[in-house]
């Protein structure tokens, strides 16, 4: 994925890898490290917490913690790559694009997902995909990253009713 990002984006100094907590952030850091190894350039990273931009307020029984977002300023002239572990309905990505708007107006937005499992509810597609994984809607995809989950790296597909 790092290679693809480098190929697609000539000006790495204008790039921001913005991860969606928690695993997107870890992935963004890993990608930045890989890019540094490939292109000897350190790209900026950031955090986009989408909790404040969701469209299902008042419908949940409990809420998880919100993390502070953080993006470099200014965003104009920059390319922000949204980084997340799983791309599913596309709603999280939509919320992330919305969140980025309150920070400024980047020149270009791209999306990097470790796993694309299909079943989009919105017209959104990823620019960089680690693996395409066809799934049934009722199935679950779980990504585990060592630095976030204290488990070995892995992608798990859980069948329905498991």
Partner 1 sequence: MNSSILRWTRKDLLGLRELSAEEINFVLETADAFKQVGTREVKKVPALLGKTLINLFIEPSTRTRTSFELAAKRLSADIVNISAATSSLTKGETLKDTARVLEANHADIIVLRHSSAGAPQFLASRIGASVINAGDGAHEHPTQGLLDLYTIREKKGRVAGLHIAIIGDILFSRVARSNIFALLKMGARVTLVGPSTLVPREFEQLGVAVSHQLDEVLPTADVVNLLRIQHERQRKEYFPGLGEYIRLFGLTKARAVLLKPDCLIMHPGPINRGVEIDSELADGVQSVILDQVTNGLAVRMAVLYLCAGIATP
* Nearest approach, Cβ of residue 13 and partner 1 (Å): 21
Q: Is 62 in the site for partner 1 (CB under 8 A)?
A: yes
Q: Is 61 in the site for partner 1 (CB under 8 A)?
A: yes
What Rg, from alpha-carbon coordinates, does the chain have? Answer: 16
Three-class DSSP category at 23: helix
Q: Is 10 in the site for partner 1 (CB under 8 A)?
A: no
Task: Give the Cα separation of 119 and 30 in Å (integer).
Answer: 27
Q: Is 70 in the site for partner 1 (CB under 8 A)?
A: yes
Q: Is 78 in the site for partner 1 (CB under 8 A)?
A: no
Q: What is the DSSP letter of 67?
A: P
Size of the site for partner 1 (CB under 8 A): 26
Write out the two tokens for 89. 């309905």
Q: Per CB under 8 A, which region of 2-10, 38-46, 53-61, 86-94 contacts partner 1?
A: 53-61
Among 10, 40, 57, 123, binds partner 1 (CB under 8 A): 57
Among 65, 150, 151, 152, binds partner 1 (CB under 8 A): 65
Nearer residue to partner 1 within complex by CB, 12 or 18: 18
Burial class (CB in 10 A: 0-12, 13-18, 19+), 58: exposed
Strand (E) or helix (H) holding 95 = helix 91-101
Residue with tokens 């190929």: 7
């Amino acid at each position: 994925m790092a290679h693809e990002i480098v190929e697609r984006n000539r000006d790495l100094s204008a790039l921001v890898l913005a991860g969606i907590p928690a695993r997107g952030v870890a992935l963004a850091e890993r990608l930045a490290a890989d890019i540094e190894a490939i292109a000897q350039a350190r790209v900026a990273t950031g955090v986009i917490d989408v909790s404040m931009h969701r469209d299902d307020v008042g419908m949940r029984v409990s809420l998880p913690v919100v993390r502070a977002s953080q993006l470099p300023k200014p965003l104009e002239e920059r390319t922000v790559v949204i980084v997340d572990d799983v791309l599913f309905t596309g709603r999280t990505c939509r919320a992330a694009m919305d969140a980025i708007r309150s920070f400024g107006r980047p020149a270009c937005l791209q999306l990097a997902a470790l796993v694309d499992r299909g079943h989009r509810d919105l017209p959104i597609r990823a620019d960089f995909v680690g693996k395409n994984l066809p799934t049934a809607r009722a199935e679950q995809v779980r990504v585990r990253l060592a630095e976030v989950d204290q488990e070995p790296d892995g992608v798990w597909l859980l069948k329905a009713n498991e």
